[in-house]
Amino acid sequence: MRATTSIWLSSAPPSLGRPLAEGLDVDVAVLGGGISGITTALLCARDGATVAVLERETVAGTGGATGFTTAKASALQQTKLAQIRNLHGDEKTAAYAAAQLDALDLIEGLVERHAIDCGWQRLPDVTFALDRTQVDAVHAAQEAARAGGLAVHTTTPSPLPFEPPAAVQLDRQAIFDPVRYVRRLASLLVEEGGHVFDHTAVAQVHDGDPCRVVTAGGETVRAGAVVVCTNYPLLDRGAFFARMSAERSYVVAARVLDDPPAAMAISAGEPTRSIRPLLTDDRQRWVLIGGEGHPTGSSKATPERYKALERFARERFDVEEIPFRWSTQDGMPVDKLPYAGRYLPRSSRLFVNAGHQKWGMTNATAGARVVADLIAGRDSRFASLLDPNRVTLGAVPDAAKAQASAAAHLVGDRLTPAEASSAAEVPTGEARVVRSGRFGKVGVHRDDLGAVHAVSLRCTHLGCILHWNDAERSWDCPCHGSRFGIDGQLLTGPASKPLETVEAPQ
């Protein structure tokens, strides 16, 4: 039976957080218990602050992205440096690359100092051309990396089990198990006096002195500073909704008969194929293949995404079996730089560390360093680079496009016709938008056992109409990426409330 959970979560030690049961006063409240939130909290605690992490689900668990990453920590990052160079120039490309290398050192320092058992391994990262159409992109990635001060070199012979038409390599990048790493950081935080609360959703955040964070359970955390470290910033301030899109991508884990490659790698364009070796403690050999990204809420969310990755795995590696597959979601800033710093230009108490654009291991860690520095009142080397309130003129057309797309979904999706007039027309294992008197249209899914699940299709975030995700069997929002289960349960923010369940139209 194939698992639709990540290989990390299938064998992870449990998260030890408990729900917040009563009000609390701290110096820093951190919203979100992924690598971003836990690293930020730990660095703040080591500056002497009292800290509480509030996580809607569990630390590095199924509610976020950390448990679903391939955990490649690299400064090369496919073609990201070329994109940054085009928009921001050589100086910022170099600063971005330096921030990634600094984050790698920070993670490695924590792993070594605390002997964290997370399979940390330095190895090369390769950006390669899957075919001739990607050769120019590899060359652009190479030039941008050189402009950014990285010691890249061409890769011959290839460390991959095939010879790509072009490839560029950066040595001494790293891979690790993200869940074991982050859950150990969380336990260190608790050992050092911090608080970690699982199953503690945040309902409201009030700026002030102190700030007040009110949980869905009605408890209040008063804090000198609040850091929003959720995958997509959950406060309806700061216009992040106009500056960041949400994208889903997919991973399969293949157990292989040969030694996995001695490098991680990623193709330089579409289709994206990310390759990451894994040798487990019991000497099992794995290759993780990722890719097939698309905007959240798109009709491309079909099981075919997994099949394409499995085909690639079987074509390029000696695959024994593919027992794991999973998907994930990333925040993608329009100007290709993450957001770490003050949530609003004049805010001295609200901070954000988000928008890690598929390279969250280093970007979340770099952002944690910036936010901890700002809260401690220190100068921070990468604060201006990652300033959430920057204006990037070159990205204005993309921001306008993202806004127009959200507006089109908000209005246009209401006008599209229903796909069925009653629940009886919904086939087993599928979903349809069904006409309904009171709601206009509702979402109806008939599960594999024939039971019918019906929900309102109005996203509880800002009201866009949800689309069916056939790969994950969820209702996804094309505007800012919120996702809901077949019975309306919240899977992914920025929404903070579940969908209304409704009676299926007969």
Which of 55, 186, 482, 502 is the binder for ligand FES (CB under 6 A)?
482
Q: Rule CB under 6 A: choose which of 461, 473, 490, 491 binds ligand FES.
A: 461
- Report residue 270 as tokens: 């579409």
443 touches ligand FES (CB under 6 A) = no
CB closer to ligand FES, 103 vs 244: 244
Measured from the CB atom, is 443 or 481 closer to ligand FES?
Answer: 481
Stretch that binds ligand FES, among 165-173, 222-230, 251-259, 460-468 (CB under 6 A): 460-468
By CB under 6 A, residue 464 contacts ligand FES: yes
**Alpha helices (H) in 317-395, listed in sequence order:** 360-376, 383-386
Q: Output 421 or 489, the one with its CB closest to ligand FES.
A: 489
Q: Is the Cβ of residue 118 or residue 495 nearer to ligand FES in the bound state?
A: 495
Does 480 engage in binding with ligand FES (CB under 6 A)?
yes
Alpha-carbon span 155 to 336, nearest angstrom: 26
Q: Taking the complex as a whole, how short is the minimal distance between the CB of residue 106 and ligand FES, in angstroms?
A: 32
Residue 455 in contact with ligand FES, rule: CB under 6 A: no
495 lies in the site for ligand FES, by CB under 6 A: yes
Pick 151 or 407: Cβ nearer ligand FES: 407
Closest approach of Cβ 436 to ligand FES, in Å? 20
Q: Which stretch binds ligand FES (CB under 6 A): 46-54, 299-307, 359-367, 479-487?
A: 479-487
Tell me: does residue 230 bind ligand FES (CB under 6 A): no
* Residue 479 lies near ligand FES (rule: CB under 6 A): yes
Least separation in angstroms between CB 248 and ligand FES: 13
Rounded Cα gap, residues 356 and 339, in angstroms: 8
Please state whether 358 falls in left (phi above 0), alpha (psi between -120 and 50) or beta. Answer: left
DSSP codes of every residue in 232-262: S--SS-TTGGGTEEEEEEEEEEEEESSPPPS
The answer to whether the CB of 476 falls within 8 A of the CB of 466 is yes
User: If phi over 0 gives left and psi between -120 and 50 gives alpha, with beta otherwise, what is residue 23?
Assistant: beta
**Binding to ligand FES by residue 59, rule CB under 6 A?**
no
Return the closest-CA partner of residue 348 out of 381, 379, 371.
371
Q: How many residues are present in the chain?
A: 506
Q: Residue 115 or residue 415: which is nearer to ligand FES going by CB? A: 415
DSSP 126: E
Q: How far is the CB of 461 from ligand FES (least distance, A)?
A: 3
CB of 415 to ligand FES, least distance (A): 17
Applying CB under 6 A, the span of 118-126, 333-341, 357-365, 459-467 interacting with ligand FES comes to 459-467
Whether 99 contacts 366, CB under 8 Å: yes
Within 8 A by CB and 6+ apart from 396, the residues are none
List the one residue out of 64, 3, 6 whose CA is nearest residue 30. 64
Counting contacts by CB under 6 A, is residue 465 touching ligand FES? no
Q: How far is the CB of 482 from ligand FES (least distance, A)?
A: 4
User: Taking a C-beta distance cutoff of 8 angstroms, is the pair 209, 502 a contact?
Assistant: no
Between 410 and 418, name the residue whose CB sits nearer to ligand FES.
Answer: 410
462 binds ligand FES (CB under 6 A): yes
Residue 21 Cβ vs ligand FES, minimum distance, rounded to whole Å:
30
For residue 286, the one-letter residue type is W
**Binding footprint of ligand FES, residue count (CB under 6 A):** 12
Exposure b/e, 300-315, CB count within 10 A at least 16 = b: ebeeebbebbeebbee
DSSP 8-state assignment for residue 132: G
Examine residue 477 and tell whether it contacts ligand FES (CB under 6 A): yes
List phi, psi (to 5°) of 151: -85, 65
The one among 32, 210, 277, 494 contacting ligand FES by CB under 6 A = 494
Does 499 bind ligand FES (CB under 6 A)? Our answer is no
Residue 149 exposed, middle or buried by CB count within 10 Å (0-12, 13-18, 19+) = middle
Q: Site residues (CB under 6 A) for ligand FES?
A: 459, 461-464, 477, 479-482, 494-495
